[in-house]
Amino acid sequence: MTTQFIPVTSGARLSDQVAQQLAAEIKAGRLAPGAKLPPEARLVEQFEVSRTVVREAVSRLKSLGLVDSRQGSGVYVAASPPFAPLNFDAKSADSQSAVAQMVEVRRALEAEAAMLAAQRRTAADVKRIRQAVQALDKAVAAGGDGVEEDLRFHRSIAEAAHNPFLISTLDYLAQFMRGAISVTRANEARRADFTTQVRGEHAAITEAIAAGDAVKARAAAGRHMANAIRRIENADPAFWTQEGARLAQPLVRKLREKEPTVAIEVIASDAISDLLRREADIAVRHVKPDQPDLIARFVREATANFYASEDWVRVHGHPRHAEEAAHLPFVGADRSGHFLAFLHQQGLPLSEANFSCYADHSLAQWSLVRHGLGIGAMVDEIARDTQGIVRVLEDVPPVRFPIWLVTHRELRTARRIRVVFDRLAELL
């Protein structure tokens, strides 16, 4: 039987689309164990992609144990099905609905973990859980987002269950939940009722485990996850993605003009781990990465200054000197104190009282500035292309920072990556 494949389209990475189609044929048995994959030339023709894309897709199938290469013969479906690792689509995990669905899975696991923890906990386990709660409260009180402390609290409960398989599963889910928890905790920080609710839920779980009440512990953990789903649904991260796409349009347009055949997907993220997990091929960063598997090229130095919306200036006036900022509202980049320390270095006499709101993503910060919620720092190129924005605090020295292009060492050898990398270096 001859297998026919559907040409891939722009959107998701081409190699991912090819790999998914091939994997689906293998898992459905239409490409049987021991069967030879179609020749590379035929796959190129059917998928309407380059040889590089096909080779990347086949390489991914090899890493999953679905196919084997035979010297001088070709690529064959593995004779016996591999042990299938737990593997989620990273892009699906970014969507609000998918994250909520994963919390549904996590709800069952967390409820079971809490029940087992109540049955099996030791005095040392209870102490660690209480310490995790205290660390979370302390982090929030200090202005932090509490994300890592939140994850640590739930892991301490899994540890108290004394089931290594449960711990490993929850650890795996945590990598997908970290971003969702960042969104929900930021959302909760804006609402006192949410913050109080979360603290109460954590306390209920902790006390039930400490008391050895398995039924109450299970119910409390399940209730916590159900409420987490509701809070995820009430959070609104969409504008970050929308803003990211808007700000990337000029760069994407220029690249498209130079390389019209390259499929481009823009991901608004500051995480270096995106590259290490191959969730992105190329990244633009403001710090040189120190990971040995990443390579970087210095492009140029850029500048940033302080800006406010025209509406804000009409209400508050036009401050030009650092001394004038002492009683004005600013948009904060974090609640850890790092951004405040940075502003002090710029000579601005500010305190936490100056911050009307916070956002831990630069695009979210810019959106808040555009909507008149305070003064914020922004790269000059972006600010100049934004309507309704005025530069303020002109006497404060500009912030200078480097721009680096970063990619994975192995990807740099792929022609399509090399071409885009070099073009971006020219355009930036």
* Closest among 400, 396, 364 to 380, alpha carbons compared: 400
3-state secondary structure of 297: strand
pLDDT digits (tens, 9 = 90+) for 145-173: 777 888 889 999 999 999 988 888 877 77
Cα gap 22→3, rounded to integer Å: 10
Provide mean pLDDT across the span 90-95: 48
- Report whether pLDDT(198) > 50: yes
Provide mean pLDDT across the span 70-79: 85
CA atoms within 13 A on the CB side of 401: 15
- Report whether pLDDT(24) > 60: yes
Determine the pLDDT at residue 333: 77
Cα gap 170→167, rounded to integer Å: 5
* Residue 271 tokens, joined: 């995480």
* Closest among 282, 303, 236, 302 to 411, alpha carbons compared: 282
* Residue 230 tokens, joined: 């509701």
Contacts of 39 (CB under 8 A, 6+ apart): 74
Cα gap 108→110, rounded to integer Å: 6
Instruction: Give the helix/strand (H/E) hosting 374.
Output: none
- Is there a contact between 174 and 151 (Cβ–Cβ < 8 Å)? yes
Tell me the β-bridge partners of 68.
76
- What percent of the chain clears pLDDT 90, i.e. is strictly above it? 20
- Is there a contact between 117 and 217 (Cβ–Cβ < 8 Å)? yes
pLDDT digits (tens, 9 = 90+) for 253-269: 555 565 565 666 566 55
Provide mean pLDDT across the span 55-79: 84
Cα gap 111→104, rounded to integer Å: 11
- Report whether pLDDT(240) > 50: no
CA 260 vs CA 13, 52, 58, 267, 416: distances in Å:
16, 17, 25, 19, 12
Cα gap 286→400, rounded to integer Å: 10
Domains along the chain? 14-77 (1.10.10.10), 92-234 (1.20.120.530), 237-428 (3.40.190.290)
How far the first Cα of the chain sits from its last, in Å, is: 50
* Closest among 116, 170, 362, 345 to 247, alpha carbons compared: 362
